[in-house]
Chains A and B, each alone.
Chain A
Amino acid sequence: MKLFLLMMTALLLGGCSGDWGWYVVNPATKSGMNNLSFLLSGLYYTILLSVTAIIISVVVGLLVALPGLSKNPFLRGINRVYVEIVRAVPILVMILWVYYGLPQVADISITVFWAGVIALALSDSAFEAEIFRAGIQSIDKGQYEASHSISLSYTDTMRFVILPQAIKRILPALGNQLVYMLKMSSLVSVIGMQELTRKANELVVTEYRPLEIYTILVLEYLVLILIVSAGVRWLERRMNADEK
Chain B
Amino acid sequence: MPVDPQSPLISIRDVSKFFDDFQALKDVDLEVKPGEKVVVCGPSGSGKSTLIRCINQLEKHEKGSIIVDGIELTSSKASLNAIRSKVGMVFQQFNLFPHLTVMDNLTLGPIRSKGLSKQQADDMAMKYLERVRIPEQANKYPRQLSGGQQQRVAIARSLCMEPEIMLFDEPTSALDPEMINEVLEVMTELAESGMTMICVTHEMGFARKVADKMVFMDHGEIVEMSEPGKFFTEPDSQRCQDFLQQILHH
Whether the Cβ atoms of B141 and A243 lie closer than 8 Å is yes
- Per the 8 Å Cβ criterion, residues 125-152 of A in contact with B are 140, 142-143, 145-146, 148-152
The size of the chain A interface, using a CB distance under 8 A, is 19
Contacts of B135 in A (CB 8 A): none
Tell me whether A242 and B113 are in contact in the complex, defined as CB-CB below 8 angstroms, given that A146-B95, A150-B108, A165-B98 are known contacts: no
Q: Does A17 contact B (CB under 8 A)?
A: no
Tell me whether A151 and B81 are in contact in the complex, defined as CB-CB below 8 angstroms, given that A142-B91, A156-B112, A160-B112 are known contacts: yes
Contacts of A168 in B (CB 8 A): 99
Q: Name B108's closest neighbour in chain A (CB-CB).
A: A160
Q: Contacting chain A: which of B82-90, B124-132, B240-248?
A: B82-90
A239 CB → nearest B CB, Å: 9
Q: Name A167's closest neighbour in chain B (CB-CB).
A: B99
Contacts of A151 in B (CB 8 A): 81, 84-85, 109, 113-114, 161
Tell me whether A152 and B95 are in contact in the complex, defined as CB-CB below 8 angstroms, given that A243-B141, A243-B143 are known contacts: no
The range of chain B's interface size is: 20 to 34
CA distance A122 to B96 in the complex (A): 37
Q: Which residue from B57, B58, B109, B143 sits with its C-beta under 8 Å from A150? A: B109
Q: Does B65 contact A (CB under 8 A)?
A: no
A143 CB → nearest B CB, Å: 6
A156 CB → nearest B CB, Å: 5
Whether the Cβ atoms of B158 and A142 lie closer than 8 Å is no
Q: Does A15 contact B (CB under 8 A)?
A: no
Whether the Cβ atoms of B113 and A149 lie closer than 8 Å is no
CA distance A146 to B113 in the complex (A): 13
Whether the Cβ atoms of A153 and B95 lie closer than 8 Å is no
CA distance A195 to B88 in the complex (A): 57
- Per the 8 Å Cβ criterion, residues 94-134 of B in contact with A are 95-99, 108-109, 112-114
Q: Name A165's closest neighbour in chain B (CB-CB).
A: B99
Q: Which residue from B56, B93, B108 sits with its C-beta under 8 Å from A148? A: B56
Whether the Cβ atoms of A143 and B161 lie closer than 8 Å is no
Q: Does A96 contact B (CB under 8 A)?
A: no
Contacts of A145 in B (CB 8 A): 58, 89, 91, 95
Whether the Cβ atoms of A164 and B99 lie closer than 8 Å is yes
Q: List 25 A-B contacts (CB under 8 A).
A: A140-B95, A142-B93, A142-B95, A145-B89, A145-B95, A146-B91, A146-B95, A146-B97, A149-B56, A149-B89, A150-B85, A150-B113, A150-B158, A150-B161, A151-B85, A151-B114, A152-B112, A161-B97, A161-B108, A165-B98, A165-B99, A168-B99, A242-B141, A243-B141, A243-B143
Which of B's residues lie within 8 Å of A, judged by CB?
56-58, 81, 84-85, 87-89, 91, 93, 95-99, 108-109, 112-114, 141, 143, 154, 157-158, 160-161
Closest 8 interchain pairs by CB? A150-B109, A142-B95, A146-B95, A151-B113, A149-B89, A151-B85, A156-B112, A151-B84
